[in-house]
Amino acid sequence: MTQGTTRAARRRYYDERETWPQERREADLFARLPAQIAHAKAHAPAYARLLADIDPSEITSRAALARLPVVRKSELLELQQRERPFGGFAAVGWGREVLRVFASPGPIYEPEGNRPDHYRMARALFAAGFAEGDLVQNTFSYHMTPAGSMMETGAHALGCTVFPAGVGQTELQVQAIADLKPNAYTGTPSFLRILIHKCREAGVALSLRKAFVSGEAFPPALQREVAEAGIDAYQGYATADLGLVAYETEAREGLVLDEDVIVEIVRPGGSEPVPEGEVGEVVVTTFNPVYPLIRFGTGDLSAVLPGISPCGRTNTRIRGWLGRADQTTKVKGMFVHPSQVLAVASRHPEVRRARLVVENPNLSDVMILECEVAQGDDDLRQAIETSLREITKLRGEVRFVPPGSLPNDGKVIDDRRKYD
């Protein structure tokens, strides 16, 4: 049987939008956005409440979008517990419009709509070299969580055949490689490594030549090992709620954003977009009619990578996963949230950026609010310390630092306590 076509024999891009000028892309996305917001308000009870005072026709720019509230994934569990099953964020109920419902850890429930390639994974798989005629060994779970379905529906959209291998059962997976000779893999990079080693141990010829990996880090050492096994592997960033957010291309420079999402990088714990290149929380707006998430805070940290990809795709790139934005910590028995640190800074326009450092000399918690200011005096220091005490209900010291001196790592709270 002839397997998938080669890169040279097929078109270079999934569709023409990947090479649109950025101005055209922005115009298209924000021309579509008002209808999506109106749809969410009309059919998703949570957005009817959250956006009650918003006129959808006015949300036609990034500045206008930034005025809307951020709904964070960390809030979804409580919201869904209050209003089953989806916290009021789904625009449809059970029936033909929802093919499946999944449960991510929490549990947090997600609906899968009836549109082909509901999660829009085909674009990322295409960039990874997947094509009609490939046999894909899909090692993501098909039970409870949506990863298996995400990859399968994307592969089907490209004309691939899928072997639904699921998680584990390594010996049976190796046997399937021997019998079926799949040429493509979807799953975590760590399980791909296991299959490579198990095939060698069993004397089975490794037929896999391309891979799309996600769900965990894909460090350079593992990338080299996979490449040495003859597998061309690419990584992507997707979530159960949003589907595809960004994907790797042959340029191997960051991850290119999907064409059907609006991505903002905002101050962790806040809603204000950060300057380009600064690390912040990934906030995504989708055009999914079933689950119309608007300004959805993923809790993941990333940053915009300046410039255009050498692969020819013109959409914005991000640096990939850089950690978690939820830096809530407990000091002297009280929770301190990143949003509180931002609230302190917002009271004082002299503060350009702020970071709360928590230490425990002599095993006693101490808070130090480091503030970037051009000029600071004792009056400003005392005023900020008062704000810190009022907002957090805890006493803390304020330390002034020069503008631009705080690390660009997305941290709003830096917990440096040691207990050994």
Tens digits of residue pLDDT in 164-177: 999 889 999 999 99
pLDDT band per the 50, 70, 90 thresholds, residue 363: low
Does the residue 2 lie in any domain?
no
Q: Are residues 154 and 177 in the same domain?
A: yes
Judged by DSSP in three states, 97 sits in coil
Of 318, 343, 371, the position where a domain reaches its end is 318
pLDDT band per the 50, 70, 90 thresholds, residue 179: very high
Mean pLDDT computed over 242-249: 98
pLDDT at 323: 81
pLDDT at 334: 80
Exposed/middle/buried for 331, CB within 10 Å: 0-12, 13-18, 19+? Answer: buried
Q: Which two tokens stand for residue 314?
A: 């013109």
Q: Which two tokens stand for residue 227?
A: 């490449």
pLDDT at 321 over 60: yes
pLDDT at 276: 94
Does the residue 364 lie in any domain?
yes
Exposed/middle/buried for 92, CB within 10 Å: 0-12, 13-18, 19+? Answer: middle
Q: Are residues 305 and 354 in the same domain?
A: no
Does the residue 86 lie in any domain?
yes
CATH code for position 379 = 3.30.300.30
Report the domain count for the chain.
Answer: 2
Cα of first residue to Cα of last residue in the chain, in angstroms, is 61
Q: DSSP character for 68? A: S
pLDDT at 209: 98
Q: Are residues 353 and 210 in the same domain?
A: no
Using one digit for the tens of pLDDT, what is the confidence trace for 66-86? 999 999 988 898 899 999 999
Mean pLDDT computed over 149-178: 97
Whole-angstrom distance, CA of residue 322 vs CA of residue 131: 30
Residue 303's contacts (CB-CB under 8 Å, 6 or more residues apart) are 265, 277, 278, 279, 280, 318, 319, 322, 408, 410
Mean pLDDT computed over 269-284: 94
pLDDT at 214: 93
CB 89 within 8 A of CB 130: no
Name the least confident of 6-10, 211-215, 250-254. Answer: 6-10
Q: Are residues 189 and 273 in the same domain?
A: yes
Mean pLDDT computed over 225-236: 97
Mean pLDDT computed over 245-264: 98
The sheet with strand 353-359 has its strands ordered as: 397-401, 366-372, 353-359, 413-415
pLDDT at 8: 41
Does the residue 248 lie in any domain?
yes
Residue 150's contacts (CB-CB under 8 Å, 6 or more residues apart) are 119, 121, 140, 238, 240, 243
Mean pLDDT computed over 387-416: 94
Does the residue 377 lie in any domain?
yes
Whole-angstrom distance, CA of residue 143 vs CA of residue 133: 26
Query: Which range marks the domain in which residue 305 is found?
Result: 7-318
Q: Are residues 296 and 181 in the same domain?
A: yes
Q: Are residues 260 and 342 in the same domain?
A: no
Q: Are residues 314 and 338 in the same domain?
A: no
pLDDT at 2 over 60: no
Helices 338-346 and 378-392: angle between axes, nearest 10 degrees: 140
Q: For residue 256, list its beta bridge partners.
A: 247, 317
pLDDT at 217: 82
- Mean pLDDT rounded to a whole number for the chain: 93
Using one digit for the tens of pLDDT, what is the confidence trace for 31-56? 999 999 999 999 999 999 999 999 99
pLDDT at 417: 86
Does the residue 267 lie in any domain?
yes
Q: Are residues 343 and 246 in the same domain?
A: no
CATH code for position 208 = 3.40.50.12780
CB 154 within 8 A of CB 125: yes
Name the least confident of 229-233, 298-302, 335-339. Answer: 335-339
Mean pLDDT computed over 239-245: 96
pLDDT at 95: 93
Q: Are residues 49 and 161 in the same domain?
A: yes
Residue corresponding to tokens 């517990």: 81
Q: DSSP character for 18? A: G
Of 259, 288, 318, the position where a domain reaches its end is 318
pLDDT band per the 50, 70, 90 thresholds, residue 1: very low
pLDDT at 114: 96
Does the residue 1 lie in any domain?
no
Whole-angstrom distance, CA of residue 267 vs CA of residue 346: 12
Q: Are residues 174 and 106 in the same domain?
A: yes
Of 266, 285, 318, the position where a domain reaches its end is 318
pLDDT band per the 50, 70, 90 thresholds, residue 136: very high
Does the residue 420 lie in any domain?
no
pLDDT at 168: 87
Q: Are residues 94 and 23 in the same domain?
A: yes
pLDDT band per the 50, 70, 90 thresholds, residue 4: very low
Q: What share of the chain is helix, strand, coil (3-state, %, to 5)?
A: 30, 25, 45
Q: Are residues 299 and 411 in the same domain?
A: no
Q: Which two tokens stand for residue 45?
A: 């009870």
Q: Which two tokens stand for residue 10?
A: 């097929």
pLDDT at 3: 46
